[in-house]
Amino acid sequence: MRRKILTCLALSAAFLCACGKVPSGNSVQQGEIEHSVSDSSNNAQVENRGADKNNWWNVLPRKDWAHYQRIPQQQDWFEVYKVLDGVYAIYEPGQFEEVISFLILGNERALLFDTGLGIGDIRAVVATLTDLDVVVLNSHTHYDHIGGNHQFSQILGRDTTFTRLHEAGSSHDDVAEFVGPGWVWKEFPPDFDPSTYRSKPFQIDERISDRNKIDLGGRILEVLETPGHTPDSICLIDRDNHLLFSGDTFYLAPLYTHLEGSDFEQYAHSAARLAALVVDIEYVLTAHNVPIVTSSYLLELREAFDTIKSGRGEYALADGHREYDFGDFSIIVANESSE
């Protein structure tokens, strides 16, 4: 986990998401947790690969997924689950990020919240799940959330400099490491070539901003701008169904406030905003590792930021950054911005 952060920063922080690997509290056995967080060898998360070694994928499969109905797919790269009525999680456990994209169905159209890594054919997956027109919206534009954008013709997005940078796509060098040794344990799809992997350019048709409502027919999603992880981070709230789609603003793993484009103070403000909405939210659908957590974590997130801001929090140094451990999640803070 820690070495991974250093590697990412050295490579191209602007294209990172990098969710880290503290396992969820409810989804992993205690022994696995100890194994995961105590491994402090160099490049601990992505080296030591191979049989009987301390690999990040040893925590798989995460138990939470067993609670949901799995929808069989022809492509081995994806695991697809119906996680709630009208909500499918499209999970990519074969790569370190374990990213999760969500297909949200209305009566008239569907919204795909993130498009994954761009390794498999996510459009083909979506076609197995719905005949409705599909509009894409990204929780933010890190590489592991925009990989399949280029396959879709209707894309909503923020109007930020950060977003426009990522619309243009990346070079292979920007993202090559993320499909390299130790980052992937599954076989790549037969038509995928890691030597040419990049984030392909895409075009946003319609710019959205805070409080915009997206009507899918019988389901309304409201945009909440939640900058901090990136300048263009958003969450979606489905008030009628008491759901929050949190993107990378919250998940059960290290939360990154220290990357290029991240902003600790903005992140803290966004956390407070989400906590204030907790009475309207029952479940939070997160973009990495496990699909659904209870909304009480939003209160814990606000409290965690308050603790760090107060100077009371204990931290460990991780590649020069501060990691504050709050149990089922942690927060990584750049040393210079946490005072």
Tell me the one-letter amino acid at 290.
V
What distance in Å separates the CA atoms of residue 253 and residue 131, rounded to the nearest whole number? 34
Please say which residue, 18 or 83, places its beta carbon nearer to Zn ion.
18
Pick the stretch among 15-23, 56-64, 188-196, 197-205 that binds Zn ion (CB under 5 A): 15-23
Judge whether 228 and 271 are in contact, CB under 8 Å.
yes
Number of residues that bind Zn ion (CB under 5 A): 3
Q: Which stretch binds Zn ion (CB under 5 A): 91-99, 135-143, 158-166, 292-300?
A: 135-143
Beta carbon nearer to Zn ion, 105 or 255: 255
Angle in degrees, CA 137, 139, 141, rounded to 5:
90
Of 216 and 301, which CB lies nearer to Zn ion in the complex structure? 301
Q: Of the candidates 177, 248, 323, 328, which one interacts with Zn ion according to CB under 5 A?
A: 248
Nearer to Zn ion, 106 or 228 (CB): 228
Where does this chain touch Zn ion (CB under 5 A) — which range of 136-144, 197-205, 237-245, 315-323?
136-144
HSE-CB for 16 with a 13 A CA cutoff: 25
Which of 17, 214 has the CB closer to Zn ion? 17
CB of 141 to Zn ion, least distance (A): 9
Q: Is the four-CA dihedral 269, 5, 191, 70 of positive or negative sign? A: negative
| Best CA proximity match to 202, nearest among 167, 172, 160 | 167
Nearest to 95 by CA among 1, 195, 203, 178: 178
- How far apart are CB 9 and Zn ion at their closest, in Å? 14
> Alpha carbon of 193 to those of 26, 91, 177, 248, 269: distances in Å?
36, 20, 13, 27, 41
Nearer Cβ to Zn ion, position 20 or 313?
Answer: 20
* Closest by CA position to 115, among listed 79, 87, 152: 152
Cβ 109 to Zn ion shortest distance, Å? 26
Q: Which residues of 302-318 are buried (b: 16+ CB within 10 A; e: fewer)?
A: bebbeebeeeebebeeb
Residue 17 touches Zn ion, criterion: CB under 5 A:
yes
Stretch that binds Zn ion, among 169-177, 244-252, 266-274, 278-286 (CB under 5 A): 244-252
Binders of Zn ion among residues 257 to 296 (CB under 5 A) are none
Residue nearest to Zn ion (CB): 17
What is the nearest approach in angstroms of Zn ion to the Cβ of residue 248? 4
Distance CA 20, CA 4 (A): 8
Question: Do residues 141 and 233 make contact, with C-beta atoms less than 8 angstroms apart?
Answer: no
The stretch near Zn ion (CB under 5 A) out of 68-76, 173-181, 247-255, 322-330 is 247-255
- Cβ proximity to Zn ion: between 68 and 96 the closer is 96
Residue appearing with tokens 């993107």: 247
Name the site residues for Zn ion (rule: CB under 5 A). Answer: 17, 142, 248
